[in-house]
Structure 1
Amino acid sequence: MSTRYPPLGPSYWMRTAPGDEPYPALASDMDVDVAIVGAGIAGLSTAHELMRAGRTVAVLDAGRLAGGVTGYTTAKLTALHGMVYAHLRRTRGPDGARLYARSQTEAIEHAAALVEELGIDCDWEPRSAYSYVTDPDQADQVRAEAEAAREAGLPAVFTQDTGLPFPVAGAVRVDGQAQFHPRNYLLALAADLAAQGALIHENTRVTGLTEGEPHTLETDTGNVVRARDVVVATHYPVFDRSLLFSRLSPRREFAVAGRIPAALDPDGMYITSEENTRSVRTAPLDTPGKRLLIITGEHITPGTGDPEERFRRLTDWMTATFPGVEPMYGWATHDTDATDTVPLVGPMPSGSPGLWVATGFRGWGMSGGIMAGRLLATLIDGGSSPWAELYDPRRLTPVLREAPRFLQTQAKVAGHFVGDRLAAARSGAAVEDIEPGDGAVVRVGGESVAVHRDDAGELHAVSARCTHLGCLVCFNAAERAWECPCHGSRFSPDGSVLQGPATRPLPRRALRRREDT
């Protein structure tokens, strides 16, 4: 029996969240204590903490609440972030590893307390987290990780006993972690925010920032928001006067989900870096005797590789590993990695006082976003935190610690910035060769133009230069989007922004006949 591949589309979380009414777009100028750009888990967590501290808060999002990265996550709440603690012990010292574990653990405990206090119906389930390998040659590395995690304060143990339907050479297990429905959680948080008087505006893209006292945010609605403090919580910073993008690398990752008998539930949250990453968890379903199996992995740099082939590979792994599973949903998500592993949360480097940022969560944005909200609210309120220095974006990381990944990231960007232009100039791609549903960068009148042919055969042409820093975009046919391989901006076929750091659309272009180019 051949595998049925569900189309890539909205995530399970986006499909199953209640049919909420959208919050209005910004329609007038306003003044608040704190303006937060981005309504994912970091932004809304920050807003919730600040409202409780008595601040006036405005939250602005270009789309829907929790409709970006947060709405497409795997939604694990755990302090076991792959194989990170041995690395942290080596690069940040034992105290740094302990602060990391404590900050992430307290974030999970804080979320559990909010679920209880607000009565949030978000499929909250306690689960054990596992980081595993199947290669016996890596078992000693896992033992070392278990020891480092335990030294950092987590209840970590080394085990070869898991609920997975295949043997493992070793795993780190940490009990007392959790999984949940992230959008239901954040919709409840937003409702509580609104009840407290917070100003929430969806479908309002922030397009400009003028630093001052107060800072001023310009939006695509033509209105401005003035605030003493501004938090940029857009996953990848849309304002980056300090060039943080040079310390960040974006990646696109895929997910597939399907029904399995509850008796086959592996009963845990699992991840391995093997096979280009495999992440496994389940979620409850209304169907009696069934669970939803969610598999994530096969990450690529946006604008590179073959997304459809990666998604099929992930789906094939799911159906081969869990016989009888029925694929139902497929989606893709966006992650941003800090080159020195630790997220960047705190004052914006080289910015005016009152500018704050949260980014670089490496795919662990659930606990990381909640941690960021608590940390930023504390700092904005003038308080201190024992882990503020660990996450501080202004940190001066020793050269030898960050240099290899930093240089690798910048080499990739430089390769795209220069190499893609040369390739486009030499390309013989022609508009007439573009198949329905596909797209290509072609030369028109000496300019690189991104051309998409829709299923009806109609052509849509926009500038191929990303409006962030000018790299050439590439077409992702699986998701019908133009993607920038340099910093991960994504655009729809008509040029409108799907994902930052770009804030401006790709300008429309007119097509000429081939003999005129």
Structure 2
Amino acid sequence: MPVRAGRHLSPWVETMSPPDLGSTAFRDVPADVVVIGAGITGITAALLLQRAGLRVVVVEAEQVGRSVTTASTVKVTFGHKTLYSTIEQGLGLDAAAAYAQANVAGFGQLLDLARSLSTDCMLEHGHPHIIYAEREDEVEQIQKEADVAQRIGLPVSLGHEAPVPFPVAAAVTFENQAHFHPGRYLAALAETFVREGGTVIEGVRARDVDEDGGVCQVDTTAGCLSAAHVVVATQYPFLDRGGQFAQLSARRSYGIAGVLPDGVPAGMTINVGSPTHSTRSATLGGEKLLIVVGEGHEVGHVTDSAERWVRLEQWAQERFGVTEFRNHWSAQETSTPDHVPFVGFIAPGSHRIYTATGYDGWGMTNGTAAAILIRDLIVGEHNPWAATFDARRAETSLPGKGFTKHNLHVAKTWVKDRVGGAPTGSLQDLRAGDAAVLDVSGERTAAYRGDQGELHMVSAVCTHMGCDVAWNDGEKSWDCPCHGSRFNYDGAVLHGPATSPLLPRSPE
């Protein structure tokens, strides 16, 4: 049986070079738009807005190319598992058609941008993307997806074959889709943006935005920036206004890359069953690799996350004969209750702050479509899918079952953390590599003992909304089960919506 092996980073990060952006130090430069977040939505929106004649500054908490964009399977496709039939059932055929229209536009825009870049981002167009069912009781899902996709005019076909080395019961095929290298694409987009006059600031985290007085003031860890408009492209919005944070659900998914044996078929596929296994192949470093992403779970709800990589490796070995593994990594994705992204003005009454989130794991086309929509809103152009994607519906629409279930869980978690009694155990019980939430001098404390026996202690209370964090053993992080914030073992923010670190704690 395989064991978790290979380097703990995605193959896309490993095989990209840092973009040449000149100085990325903080500076207060004149701007019409500040874009917060340098993933595919942020960088694409920045470039499109700049080409529309606006002065744009991008602020990134980490580095360009280290976002969720470079941690996925990376398929450029508008075939999104069974989302068309899911959206049609919940919102109607018009909404499913609007979702299709947006993603077809995002698909086309991404291809146009990729072909215009001076860097080889390994774009390959013309590959089919197949959604398949392995069991007979899953076939109806495939048939429904094919039916809705055909009714809204998408080029799909229904059959019983998929480019995998095992039989399938049914499959829906989206022809002429694509894949590429997301790290090289994102780096080249950022370089193009800077070369054409844009500004990128790295290593600076935005903490708040004030839009009173006709100009937005962006408070960051390095100072303040001013602009007429602000785009929050941080995957999970760190601003609590608008209600998006309360409706989004955050999930972790896991990826592996292993050497694909000669002659074994491995196309762009995804199954409709559970657990999810999303696949594609890529030639990197002279080797043809099988990429598999799946085994997802809600953030903060699983402690033994390292087991997820083992399961993926076992599946890759059993189904594709992979025995050599090169990489393992993870990513975070968000979804909305109705499975349509929140894109547009962040809240009713807000006319200068925009957000984009909730791509349900399909960020390449959704993220690019979101950038198009935000560009259109800022420059005042009509956009045909704006009403369907409108981010303000998070606050104005009646909550559905998904919203109620998610927030009931959040409320129960918050209450349990406060009335469930003090955590049991002591610091002395922690062995090297162990972590636990403990009561230390009357304070709920997240404690981790490193491999060399060193003790790391921080507050267990998430700085976003006050829920207790939970340990993630695979990534040595403290994850919040309420809204998906993540912190490293020393408390630094890894993933929002939290913007402040966990407070340090001292031993008794």
Structure 1 residue aligned with 2:457: 461
Aligned residue type for 2:248: L
SS at match of 1:254: strand
Change (3 A) 1:398 1:174: farther
Summarize deviations over 1:98-143 as a string: whole Å, max 9, x none: 2211211121111111122224411111221111111112212211
SS at match of 1:329: strand
Aligned residue type for 1:253: S
Aligned residue type for 1:282: S
For 1:265-284, list aligned pairs within 5 A: 265-266=265-266, 268-284=267-283
Structure 2 residue aligned with 1:319: 317
Task: Decide which of 351, 364, 367 is 2:365's aligned counterpart.
Answer: 367
What is the rounded CA distance, in whole Å, between the counterparts of 2:471 and 2:29 in structure 1? 39
What is the rounded CA distance, in whole Å, between the counterparts of 1:265 and 1:16 in structure 2? 24
Kindly indicate whether residue 254 of structure 2 is the aligned counterpart of residue 257 of structure 1: no
SS at match of 1:31: coil
Structure 1 residue aligned with 2:163: 163
What is the rounded CA distance, in whole Å, between the counterparts of 1:511 and 1:320 in structure 2? 47
Structure 1 residue aligned with 2:490: 494
What is the rounded CA distance, in whole Å, between the counterparts of 1:217 and 1:463 in structure 2? 27
For 1:142-181, list aligned pairs within 5 A: 142-181=142-181
Please identify, of 435-444 and 483-492, the stretch whose mean Cα deviation from structure 2 is larger: 435-444
Shift of 1:291: 1.3
SS at match of 2:256: strand
Shift of 1:30: 2.9
What is the rounded CA distance, in whole Å, between the counterparts of 2:410 and 2:21 in structure 1? 37
Change (3 A) 1:324 1:246: closer
8 A contact 1:4–1:327 mirrored in 2: no
SS at match of 1:158: strand
Shift of 1:335: 0.4
What is the rounded CA distance, in whole Å, between the counterparts of 2:93 and 2:427 in structure 1? 58
Shift of 1:50: 0.3
8 A contact 1:248–1:360 mirrored in 2: yes
Shift of 1:43: 0.4
Kindly indicate whether residue 230 of structure 2 is the aligned counterpart of residue 233 of structure 1: no
What is the rounded CA distance, in whole Å, between the counterparts of 1:426 and 1:465 in structure 2? 13
Kindly indicate whether residue 433 of structure 2 is the aligned counterpart of residue 432 of structure 1: no
What is the rounded CA distance, in whole Å, between the counterparts of 1:165 and 1:420 in structure 2? 47
8 A contact 1:345–1:372 mirrored in 2: yes
Structure 2 residue aligned with 1:478: 474
Shift of 1:261: 3.1
Summarize deviations over 1:78-116 as a string: whole Å, max 9, x none: 111110112222333222222211211121111111122
For 1:87-102, list aligned pairs within 5 A: 87-102=86-101
Aligned residue type for 1:91: G
What is the rounded CA distance, in whole Å, between the counterparts of 1:433 and 1:414 in structure 2? 30
Shift of 1:25: 4.4
8 A contact 2:211–2:352 mirrored in 1: no
Q: What is the TM-score when the length of structure 2 is the normalising length?
A: 0.96
For 1:326-345, list aligned pairs within 5 A: 326-345=324-343
Change (3 A) 1:24 1:414: farther
Aligned residue type for 2:131: S
8 A contact 1:249–1:336 mirrored in 2: yes
What is the rounded CA distance, in whole Å, between the counterparts of 2:49 and 2:217 in structure 1? 19
In structure 1, the gaps of 5 or more residues are 513-517
Task: Decide which of 297, 301, 309 is 2:298's aligned counterpart.
Answer: 301
Summarize deviations over 1:23-66 as a string: whole Å, max 9, x none: 64443323310000000001011001001101000000000113
Please identify, of 378-387 and 315-324, the stretch whose mean Cα deviation from structure 2 is larger: 315-324
Change (3 A) 1:261 1:313: closer
What is the rounded CA distance, in whole Å, between the counterparts of 1:167 and 1:420 in structure 2? 47
What is the rounded CA distance, in whole Å, between the counterparts of 1:324 and 1:226 in structure 2? 52
Structure 2 residue aligned with 1:349: 347
Shift of 1:351: 5.1
Summarize deviations over 1:484-511 as a string: whole Å, max 9, x none: 0111111111111111000001111111
Shift of 1:368: 0.6
Change (3 A) 1:397 1:87: farther
For 1:374-413, list aligned pairs within 5 A: 374-395=372-393, 403-413=400-410
What is the rounded CA distance, in whole Å, between the counterparts of 1:242 and 1:386 in structure 2? 22
Q: How many correspondences in the alignment?
A: 505
Change (3 A) 1:44 1:460: same
Summarize deviations over 1:350-390 as a string: whole Å, max 9, x none: 35311100000000011111001111001100111010001
8 A contact 1:277–1:298 mirrored in 2: yes
8 A contact 2:15–2:284 mirrored in 1: no
What is the rounded CA distance, in whole Å, between the counterparts of 1:100 and 1:304 in structure 2? 30
Change (3 A) 1:4 1:23: farther
Change (3 A) 1:428 1:94: closer
Summarize deviations over 1:166-191 as a string: whole Å, max 9, x none: 11111111001111111100100001
Q: What is the TM-score when the length of structure 1 is the normalising length?
A: 0.94
User: Runs in 1 of length 4+ with deviation above 6 angstroms?
Assistant: 396-400
8 A contact 2:247–2:394 mirrored in 1: no
8 A contact 2:129–2:177 mirrored in 1: yes
Aligned residue type for 2:466: G
Structure 2 residue aligned with 1:62: 61
Structure 2 residue aligned with 1:515: none
Kindly indicate whether residue 79 of structure 2 is the aligned counterpart of residue 83 of structure 1: no
Change (3 A) 1:398 1:496: closer
What is the rounded CA distance, in whole Å, between the counterparts of 2:21 and 2:50 in structure 1? 21
What is the rounded CA distance, in whole Å, between the counterparts of 1:118 and 1:279 in structure 2? 28
Aligned residue type for 1:406: F
SS at match of 1:264: coil
SS at match of 1:122: coil
8 A contact 1:23–1:201 mirrored in 2: no
Please identify, of 446-455 and 207-216, the stretch whose mean Cα deviation from structure 2 is larger: 207-216
Structure 1 residue aligned with 2:443: 447
What is the rounded CA distance, in whole Å, between the counterparts of 1:8 and 1:240 in structure 2? 36
What is the rounded CA distance, in whole Å, between the counterparts of 1:397 and 1:461 in structure 2? 37
Aligned residue type for 2:482: C
8 A contact 1:265–1:282 mirrored in 2: no
What is the rounded CA distance, in whole Å, between the counterparts of 1:96 and 1:280 in structure 2? 28
What is the rounded CA distance, in whole Å, between the counterparts of 1:211 and 1:397 in structure 2? 19
SS at match of 2:258: strand
Aligned residue type for 2:497: P
The percentage of counterpart residues that share the same residue type is: 37
8 A contact 2:246–2:483 mirrored in 1: no
Aligned residue type for 1:218: D
